[in-house]
Structures are given as structure tokens and as C-alpha cells.
Structure 1
Amino acid sequence: MTKGSRLLTAALAVLISASALTACGTSGTSSSAGEASTSAPAVVKKKASAAALTTPTIETSGQLTICTALSTGNPPTYFTDSENKPVGAEVEMAEWIAKDLGLDAKFVDVAFASIVPAVQAGKCDVIMSSLYIKPERAKVVDFTPYLMSGSAVAAPKGNPKKITGMDDSLCGLKVSAAVGKTATLLAQEQAKQCEADGKAKLTVVQTDQTTAAVQQLVSGQVDAYAGETPVVLYYQKKQANSFEMVGKPFGEIEVGAAVKKGNDELSAALSKSFTAMNKDGAYSQILKRWSMTSLAYKF
């Protein structure tokens, strides 16, 4: 072999080795980024799918943006942990859905009272925040149902005031509730009924946070708490010695993922993904983990 041939052979070997190293490096970086961005809880056993949705179906390609009233908090469906990380049943479902669609999940904290306008304004792609499917809401956003809920009343353990539910047994008492929730509106209606019937005044004490409203009951500042059924069931188990549901849950209603009116492609994708979650078994696992099995939606 001549000196020129040896030099050419060596140069080709260097080029081939460099190409192989570059390819391996790119593959490794992509895989690591994908694993880091999903941040799905251990309970969610789901491999990421190839992204099928892009703008304008979603606001940002590669990302599913979810509006959730995290600051309000609504254990066990959504709230933040000690490290300010979103947790809860709906959070896990949202992360599973995003991964199933081949997207990264990004949560946007929005006040519950402003959450529908937020999705209409394009601040997020979908609302997953225990949003009840009501006719007036269905006129302005499109829903994909995925959970059942309702309202309930709780009292201190032993029910010293003999409260029987959302009725005149609350007249003359103080009830805590979170701003904007259906149970709060029902408590306000009951307060009007107490007054109309000439009975003692029912005082509804509203707070910006569900957890604060519950704490008012636990600390003895109020006589009862009115809130969503999942919240009452969660705290009845978590604080069994100081908190109990009184009467039966009422106002059963569907909870849905809401998107902009007319965004049929995203609605169809969400519906298909929720059905897949149910068939996969992840849906029942998530509900069981958060003591919400009784509130499963029948897909």
C-alpha cells in the first residue's frame, strides 16, 4: 500500500467513527429529555406515543397545557405537595393523557372562577380541574367527561350539631366553603331558605382555598363544611378522628375536560385517550390510589 493510500484509509476511518459517535449522542440526548419531561408518577405505566397534535389544535406544538386551579387546591383531585409540585388524581390523569398523545404536560395555575375564560383566551389547551359539566358551560366550551362528582356536607366527628345534610339542620350554624364551588352556591341558597322560613341565620364563610375551608372545620371555627364529594371522602379518611360526612352526597354530576368550543380534533383525541387509559387499567389504579373508586366514570 502506498503512503497516499494509507493516509486516505486513515481519514475515512476517522470520519466513520465520528459519524457513529454523533448518532449515538443524539439518540441518547433525545431519550433522556423525553424521560425527564414526562414526570409521570410511578402509578402511571405508559410509554410515550408519537405526537399527533400540533398547532393550532394545541397552543404549543409538543406540549399539552392544562389549566388547573392549583392555588385553590382540591384534594384529592388536584393540589400541590410540600415541594409545590402538582399532585392528585386529575393531575395523574392529565400527565397520562399528555404522554399518550406524545406531548409534555404543562400545568397552568388559574383561579377557579377564571378558568373557563382562560381556556377561551388560549392560556391553555384543556381544563382539568374538577369542572362540572353544566348546560351554561357547555354553551361556551366542549367537554369530554371522565369522572363523577357531587357535593356533600361534613361535620366534626360525632356530629355534635346533629346536621343531616344540605337542609334546614344548618340554620343557625356557620358553614365553611371555597369560593366559586357548586357546594358554596348551594349553601348560599340554603341560607336564603333559612331566612325565608323565619329560622336562625345560616352563615356561609368563604375562603379562597379548599384546604383552608376544611381546616376551619377541623379547628372548630365553623360547625360544618360544604364541598365536593371527593374532598369530603378524602378528608374523612385522612382525618378520621375529627372529620365525617353527614347525610348523603347530593347533586351527582359529571366532571369533564374542557377545550375551546369547536376544537373537535382535541376533543376526539382526549376521548380516545381516556378510553385507552380505562382499558389499560391506569384509570382504576389512579382512582384507587386516591380513594375515589366510587366516583369512576362509566366509559
Structure 2
Amino acid sequence: MKKSLASTILLIAALTGAQAETLRIGVDLTYPPYNYLDKANQPAGFDVELIKLIGKRTGSDVSFLDTRFENLILGVSGNQFNVIASTLYVTPTRAKQIDYVPYMKTGVSIAVSASRGQGFAKPEELCGKRVGSIKGAAWIPELEKLNQTVCAGNPIDSREFPTSPEVTQAVMSGGVDAQLENSAVLADAAEKLKGRLKITSTEQLYPVIVGFGVKKGNEPLATFLREALAKLDGDADYEGLFAKYGVAKSSEAEFRAAIAQ
């Protein structure tokens, strides 16, 4: 009997891996298809499904706190939640504020109103134009670099909005000339707007690594997440998520390159 009980305990430990955590997730739920509220007003999307899968496989409790993107780093640093799972791009600046656990890679596209008639294939064509982005977006410094080089004398008018849907609304109303946004987010918006929003960039711009964020120095939680992701590699549900949303897993080398830029 004792031997049987011990075997059962060992089996549970092997299945769940590290000791279960309470995962309190900060996420901006205005960012489909990665993070949004579904028709039942419940959190949904790639990041939400991924963190729920981690919770399920590790026996961890998961809760979500809807938080605007610009406040996510402040929130995790102030213990309002303990994990950011919100398509958070890896940048050297952010890596000084939080610790990352990378899990995917993606990129950026340009979109305009279909009624505009003129599109932009690459960022260098945005000189002198009003360009909308979600506040705190990782590519905004890249636009600032263009203003110091190819757009000097005719700078990009970079405008920031609290949420991505507000940027799209500004594009559709003529408040800005173009929107820069994650490629999957723009594809989702274009589909919902039935052709009224048009993606005009011809390739994925500013390829980036995406990671979970934890409070600087919270190595136990970062290690827990890294080990959980490693154990999921090859899991049918895990691999299916990446296929479903059309994103790719990131490598350690790509992450190191991203924080060293």
C-alpha cells in the first residue's frame, strides 16, 4: 500500500513538474487575436490559451487582470500581478526593468484605410505622414531613428493611442494616415472590417521576440515558466496553438540577440 502510494506521488510529480504556482496574469485584453474578451466576456486568445495550458499542465491556479499595455511593466513591478502575458516584445530597455521568459517570435505590418488609395510598403515611405501606434509599442524608437535619418526634414508624425482598436479607428476616420501594428493583430482587424482596412506592407517588418515578463529578480517564477515551456515542447495542444495563430517559437539565440541590440 505504501509502495503504491509512493509510486502515485512520483507519477504526479513527473506530470506536473515544478511545484505549482499561483499565476496572476497582467494582460491587455484589447489586442485580438492574442488577447481579448470573447462573446461570453471571458479572456481569450493566444497568450491566454498558452498561460492556461501552462496552468493546466502544472496544476497552477491562473487568474487574469485586464491592464492597458502601457501599465503592464509598472503593474508587475508593483506586484499587482506576477506575470505579464500580453504579446510583450523583447527590447533591451524593457530587459532592464523586468525579467523575460521568451516563447515566440512575430513582426509588424503597415495598414491604411482602403478608401485612401495609397499604401506604404515600408517604414521609409512614412516620412511626413501621421502614423498611429499603441502606446509604448516597441517599434516607436525605430520610427524615431528614421526621423534622424531618411525622414530628417520631413519627419514621421508618430501618434500613440491607449489601445490598438483606437488606432484602427483613427485610421478609418482619417485621424492618422497609417497604422503600425503586430502583423496578426492587423490581419484580424482587416478581416473583421471586411476589406475597409488594407495591409500594404509587402513583408513582415521589425521581426521581434515575445516573452512573458516577471518582476526583476523573481528568478524562481522565471525558472518555473521556463521549465513549464520546456516540458510543453512537443505537446500536441502546445504545438497546435502555434499552428492555430500562425506564429513561431523563438530560440535562445534569438532572445539573446534581441536583448543585446
Normalised by the length of structure 2, the TM-score is 0.78
Partner of 2:23: 64
Q: Distance in 2 between matches of 1:178 and 1:191?
A: 19
2:129 to 173, 176, 182: 173
Q: Distance in 1 between matches of 2:33 and 2:171?
A: 18
1:279 to 234, 240, 250: 234
Partner of 1:235: 189
Q: Distance in 2 between matches of 1:182 and 1:143?
A: 15
User: Which structure 2 residues correspond to residues 115-134 of structure 1 after superposition, within 5 A?
Assistant: 115-134=72-91
| Higher relative contact order, chain-length normalized (CA < 8 Å, sep 6+) | 2
1:48-72 CA distances to partner (integer Å, 9 max, x unpaired)? Answer: 949824xxxx5xxxx31011122xx
Contact 1:152 1:229 in 2 (8 A): yes
User: Which structure 2 residues correspond to residues 1-299 of structure 1 after superposition, within 5 A?
Assistant: 49=16, 52-53=19-20, 63-70=22-29, 73-157=30-114, 160-167=117-124, 169-191=125-147, 193=149, 196=152, 198-199=153-154, 202-239=156-193, 241-242=195-196, 243-290=198-245, 292-293=246-247, 295-298=248-251
Partner of 1:6: none
AA of the residue aligned to 2:19: A
Deviation (angstroms), 1:133: 1.9
CA change 1:142–1:249 in 2 (3 A) is same
- Gapped runs of 5+ residues in structure 1? 1-47
Deviation (angstroms), 1:296: 3.3
Contact 1:153 1:249 in 2 (8 A): no
1:222-257 CA distances to partner (integer Å, 9 max, x unpaired)? Answer: 321111233123334444623224132222121111
Deviation (angstroms), 1:203: 2.7
More strand by share: 2
CA change 1:238–1:275 in 2 (3 A) is farther
Contact 1:152 1:183 in 2 (8 A): no
Normalised by the length of structure 1, the TM-score is 0.69
Deviation (angstroms), 1:221: 3.8
More off after superposition, 231-240 vs 86-95: 231-240
Contact 1:126 1:257 in 2 (8 A): yes
Contact 2:68 2:163 in 1 (8 A): no
CA change 1:281–1:218 in 2 (3 A) is farther
Highest Rg: 1 or 2?
1
Q: Distance in 2 between matches of 1:213 and 1:275?
A: 36
Deviation (angstroms), 1:126: 1.1
Deviation (angstroms), 1:268: 2.1
For these two proteins, the number of residue pairs brought into alignment is 237
